[in-house]
Structure 1
């Protein structure tokens, strides 16, 4: 990426320049926080990655810890919005399971830096301690919303939280190479996990 000195800002106002710089810094943060060898995020490394001086880093972020939290929050929002969009377009629980898994794979597996930020960085980056657990309820709620609304509330919660944990473990294992199967087989297994859970839940009524 070109350095700050080579940019041409003709006709671009200050707020837009700041927005562009912030987006570049966040992208650099995703690449560093989601690096295959593990997080290597420092203010200097982030600025060097996108060709900006530290002055522009502190224009948008108070410190490294706030920056890392913002990177993680950005990826979490992307994942949640992708899942919401996928399930809204699907007419049945089975179709929603397929759409949700395919959408998540496109974001997390096809873009592994995003996947490692979302699922692995909270386990390896001290400043994110606990954030993975904090975001889990939102994903459990998305799954719970697809379950039969007449089911006991506690059963819905137990099943949805359990499914989030199982799926997270599967995606982490796929990202780190513990699971070595083809993409289509992986998707099919995750879809089966969700649809079988929905079928089991309907059978308990």
Structure 2
């Protein structure tokens, strides 16, 4: 009876190395691959992200790439999803922290945060050129829909009675799509503006749209 117990204990010890479990090491490798891909993407664009380059940047052998990702498209989609999750989390936090503010003021703060994230953070990849990547074009369309759903859900408590849902969705989609295109043009130099002016312009435009649907004090 003692021999099997010893074997089991040995197995448990064998599952840890350097104080970490096998699953913890696996999670760390995945994180390193994603971070390496994001660094390359931010520096040189999505097309520069290759399996070999990512593995080199992560300091891992090629075999670890396929431990987590089926191919490069799978990795690109994962990086995009991670960045979107972070961005949506940051924007949701802005709303949650200012629920006692008027809705248009919350909108202004959310716009300012969205601009700041793509200026200084990894959200820059969301406003770059994705032409030639089927997976990223699909992600871009899905993100636009998700952002529309998020803004509608956030605005719902502030809507005036009787708002036409289809009309409101079309206006929201148009607003977010236009905001996305404006940020893309700004990043590529097609539009010249400093950051405060850009934020104020977007806020004014969003206010024109929002006042059609919000129950504002008179």
TM-score class normalised by the smaller sequence: 0.7 to 0.9
User: What's the TM-score, normalizing by structure 2?
Assistant: 0.79
Match of 2:109 in 1: 99
How do residues 23-62 of structure 1 correspond to structure 2 at under 5 angstroms?
Answer: 23-36=31-44, 39-62=47-70
Return closer, same or farther for 1:67/1:47 CA change in 2, 3 Å cut-off. Answer: same
Consecutive unaligned residues in structure 1, runs of 5 or more: 1-8
Flag the structure with more relative contact order, 1 or 2, with Cα contacts below 8 A and sequence separation at least 6.
1
Structure 2 residue runs without a partner (length 5+):
1-16
What TM-score, normalized by structure 1, do the two folds share? 0.83
Indicate conservation of the 8 Å contact 2:160/2:214, yes or no. Answer: no
Moved more, 34-43 or 55-64: 34-43
CA distance in 1, matches of 2:129, 2:107: 26
Aligned to 1:190: 202
- Rg comparison, structure with higher value: 2
Q: Confirm or deny: 8 A CA contact 1:98 1:191 kept in the other structure.
A: yes
Choose 97-106 or 154-163, whichever is displaced more.
97-106
Q: Report how many aligned residue pairs link the two structures.
A: 193
1:135 matched to 2:147? The reply is no
Matched, 1:76 2:84: yes
Distance 1:161 1:39 in 2: 28
| Deviation >6 Å, runs of 4+ | none
Which has the larger displacement, 133-142 or 32-41? 32-41
User: In 2 relative to 1, CA 124–181 (structure 1 residues): closer, same or farther, beyond 3 Å?
Assistant: farther
Deviations 1:67-123 (A, max 9, x none): 111111111211222221212222321221122112212321212x432x2233543
